[in-house]
Structure 1
Amino acid sequence: MHVTKRPICMGRLVALSAIFSAFPVFAQTSTTPAAVASTAAEVTDDGWRYSLGVGVFETPKYPGSSATRFQPAPLVGVGYGRFFFGSVADANVPFGLGAYLYRDNHFRVGVALSYDLVKPREESDDVHLHGLPDIDRTAHATLFASYNLDWLSVVGAVSQDVAGKHEGTTASLDLLGKYSPISRLTLTAGPGITWGSAQYNQTFFGVNAEDSARSGLPAYTPGSGIATVRLTAGASYALNAHWNLGARIVASKLPGAVGNSPVVEKKTQMTYGAFANYAF
């Protein structure tokens, strides 16, 4: 039974974390929803674990965009004992390398280092951005923790730009209820929130005097504060011990000073995704 259960749990773990983290795919932004924590009832510290899959996503072109993009993305996960590479479980890291500092059947704490594989925003994404600088890819150091019950996961993460790209710090918290109407189907839903530092919010939503002169948008300084609130709903179905299918919808709101930014065209942001995942 143990050999059969672990691939199913690993498949759910990697697939769910990957799809929650993609907003946009493989870029870590303030609108990134945190991953749902593992549904695994057991914690193992030995042996290799692998997961491969593909997802398709419709996401905003950039935080605050009124336009969307459709993008396929590979889902990759490799683990050995406490170490992992790929989509980071229990955190809002799309793709990285890290380790669990502590794990038991309910509580997990870990660290990860990740790098954006796509730019969070480019001037060419929309005519509305003409005159504004691109937001470069950067490296993030993340400390995360989760508490997991059969019916609930609480997931928190703090992430810092460590490559000097002026993307500051974010802190996220998500509560996700879990329900399995049948043994192979897991439904999840719940709220989340992300706080952004002054530097982070300025990079993504601010307009300095020089950018204002080039773009024609008014100068704007949002300061630190809540960068997004969100509601997540989804489902994951284990076809067998190896294959998992799933879908996810995330509705996000850019509130307060962030939402009032002249960069923002649409305060309500929607992300849709579906995935297939194979664990072995």
Structure 2
Amino acid sequence: MRPQSANFKSIMTLALLPLASVSPDSQLPIDKDARLTLGVSATYNATAYQADNNISFFPVGSYDNNRLYIEGAEAGFYPYKDSNDQVRIGLSYDGREFNPKDANVAAMKDLDKRDWSVLAHASYMHITPYGGFKIKATTDVLSRHDGQTVSLSHLSKFTKDKLTVYPEFGAVWQSKDYNQYYFGVSADESGRTGVDRYDAESGVMPFVAATATYKINDRISVFGNQRVEWLSSTQKDSPLTDGSVDSKTRVGVNYTF
């Protein structure tokens, strides 16, 4: 493993540390009335890559019985959950990718493809009257890039009648391996295409996001999500990018069983 894996293990330990100070007896009971929600979403990706924007489709789900959960493209279990603290461990889909066929610079069409990946994660969130404060650490499990990320964020929830809105803001640290895969240019690629070689470093990427859900009836709901990410300096300096902002606009429909 790369040296950064040791750093990730330390972050994972930090995320799980609150378990040492809580009593298992204070956990929320299993919710036997929890319902499964499944749906589909369409996402418009306004990318900072020198490539055409695109639309993608993806299944989504929702379920939470206080032991197991599904949330969008993430699923896992709770080692601990009460009304104020929750620890999660699971897998999540990272949809970042670069398809050279979509490049709008001729030389870049012969670069290697950068694929999406699946990340293993551990997270801890503390819920206060002012919202939830969350730390989340991830590592690549498909060996696409063998990179890691660590995010710090604040989440809120506002409900009125059938409408619920979830704002979130924070920042994500992405490791050198992560950024090199998605934003670096190897010597082989440079020699083959003429695109300048580029070695990316680790960096911090701020973001804001908001999800709105509207219940049409007891079973059907519609939702929209907007996420804006400001690229770190090492990402902006990459020859693969011509902008400093990634934006994803997602809309979809859910059915609750």
TM exceeding 0.5: yes
Of structures 1 and 2, the one scoring higher in RCO (CA 8 A, sep 6+) is: 1
* 1:141 maps onto 2:127 in alignment: no
Moved >4 Å (runs of 4+): 78-81
3-state DSSP of counterpart to 1:258: helix
Deviation at 1:132, TM superposition (A): 1.8
* 1:183 maps onto 2:168 in alignment: no
Gap regions ≥5 residues in structure 2: 1-26
Structure 1 length as normaliser, TM-score? 0.71
Deviation at 1:98, TM superposition (A): 1.9
Deviation at 1:160, TM superposition (A): 0.6
Whichever residue aligns with residue 147 of structure 1, its letter is H
Q: What corresponds to 1:55 in structure 2?
A: 41
> Matches of residues 27-176 of structure 1 in structure 2 within 5 Å?
43-47=28-32, 49-60=35-46, 64-78=49-63, 82-84=67-69, 88-89=70-71, 94-95=73-74, 97-114=75-92, 120-128=97-105, 129-149=108-128, 152-176=131-155
Q: 2:231 aligns with which of 254, 261, 271?
A: 254
Distance between the aligned counterparts of 1:171 and 1:119, measured in 2?
A: 16
Please list the CA deviations of residues 102-147 of structure 1 after superposition, one character each: whole Å capped at 9, or x if unmatched.
Answer: 101121111113466x782222232433232112454421112223
* 1:238 maps onto 2:215 in alignment: yes
Distance between the aligned counterparts of 2:57 and 2:242, measured in 1?
A: 25
Q: What corresponds to 1:195 in structure 2?
A: 173
Going from structure 1 to structure 2, the CA distance change for 1:110 and 1:65 (only over 3 Å counts) comes to farther
Whichever residue aligns with residue 109 of structure 2, its letter is H
Instruction: Please say if residues 107 and 145 of structure 1, whose CA atoms lie closer than 8 Å, have aligned partners that are also in contact.
Output: yes
Deviation at 1:179, TM superposition (A): 2.7
Q: What corresponds to 2:189 in structure 1?
A: 211
Gap regions ≥5 residues in structure 1: 1-41
Structure 2 length as normaliser, TM-score? 0.76
3-state DSSP of counterpart to 1:49: coil
Instruction: Please say if residues 60 and 66 of structure 1, whose CA atoms lie closer than 8 Å, have aligned partners that are also in contact.
Output: no
Question: How many residues are treated as equivalent by the alignment?
Answer: 228
